[in-house]
Amino acid sequence: MVKYMKTVLTVTALALLTAAPARSQEVKYGVPVKAGPMDAILAKDRNPASSLVVPVTEVSKAKFPVIDAHTHSSMSRIRSKEDVRRWVRTMDEVGVELSVVFTNASGAAFDRQVEWFAEYPSRFQLWYSLDTSGADEPDFTAKALAELERVYRKGARGLGEITDKGWGVERNENTAAPRARRMRFDDPRLDAIWQKCAELNMPVNIHIADHPSAWKPQDANQERTADFQTFALYGKDVPSYEDLLTVRERLLARHPKTKFVFCHFANQGNDTAALAQLLDRFPNMYLDISARDYEIGRQPRTMRRFLQKYRDRIMFGTDMGADKQMYLDWWRLLETGDEYMPGRVWWPYYGLELDDATLKALYRDTALKVLNFK
């Protein structure tokens, strides 16, 4: 043991001796860089404790009633009527009036969820998810249309969240077809479905591409923390981020009567100027802000202007489970001017201090116009 430790010490000492001269010559902004314990810290373990002394505002309930336009029954751990009752209690506490629930289900699985939520027709709106497992069958479109009309009669009032991160519509790395045969959102097989959604006034929630950092290497320059590695697409057999985004324009242009809600700021919350151009061109385009707290919090002034200007096109959504604290963190980010809030990524967030008119639109009024309450 002693011998082993000696060896380790010798190796460490050697490493320091060899590394130290090179490091000590480095000067950054006048500060000489020295080797030290922090050189051995892993990216995943980085967790700076802030010494900043600034006000911390606790917002225990949203300032105005909220419609949450992006939740998943699975993510909110709903498997029974009792689970739904528990969720309603949390919603009451934090000020959420209604949650749009993506069931990720069709057929009997959808019907089962209708049962779970039956006690609260005014608190939840269930949406249907497209089943694309039979996309290569000749009767795919006819079957999908029949199921869409059936779930509408059962109470479904929207279609989504439907995802294409590059593997094809509602496919993943394991279920993807060869790249040339993958179904994209502008595929002719889906035309009749988007058309039917317009007829039934069912908005469609679309997840296209993913955060741009997913296409970057998982190295020292990676923008998001190691917690997001699960979404990495770098080096995988998928189209580029840019190519995937162009599908949005073709889809919006081809179906002007269908309301498309692109979730997570259409995965372009890092570039609100580009989003503004799209919103100006396509009146049938809407956004939800779900799961992009970090895009909002890192650019509070730009985001405030964007949310103010496009308040009639953008809806609030969470997509982060159903824990009470999760909701309260959202209210603090949107309503207060608190600074340097801890977030889920490398950078802390800054509160937006949204004005009442913008908050009301974002929280509820835009959803009242987009959603189907018939």
Residues lying near Zn ion in the complex (CB under 5 A) are found at 161, 319
Count of C-beta atoms within a 10 Å radius of residue 207: 23
Residue 161 or residue 329: which is nearer to Zn ion going by CB? Answer: 161
Residue 59 or residue 285: which is nearer to Zn ion going by CB? Answer: 285
Which residue of the chain is nearest Zn ion when measured via CB? 319
Nearest approach in angstroms of CB 18 to Zn ion is 49
Residue 59 or residue 98: which is nearer to Zn ion going by CB? Answer: 98
Distance CA 197, CA 372 (A): 11
Nearest approach in angstroms of CB 169 to Zn ion is 15
Residue 319 or residue 329: which is nearer to Zn ion going by CB? Answer: 319
Residue 59 or residue 291: which is nearer to Zn ion going by CB? Answer: 291
Please, are residues 99 and 158 in contact by the beta-carbon 8 Å criterion?
Answer: no
Nearest approach in angstroms of CB 162 to Zn ion is 10
- Measuring CA to CA, which residue among 241, 160, 158, 253 is closest to residue 206? 160
| DSSP state at residue 363 | I
What is the DSSP annotation of 263-283? HHHHTTTT-HHHHHHHHHH-T
| DSSP state at residue 44 | G
Q: Judging by beta carbons within 10 Å of its beta carbon (0-12, 13-18, 19+), is residue 55 exposed, middle or buried?
A: exposed
124-127 vs 159-164, strand pairing mode: unpaired
Nearest approach in angstroms of CB 130 to Zn ion is 14
Nearest approach in angstroms of CB 128 to Zn ion is 14
Residue 164 or residue 319: which is nearer to Zn ion going by CB? Answer: 319
> The tokens 């600074």 sit on which residue?
339
Nearest approach in angstroms of CB 98 to Zn ion is 17
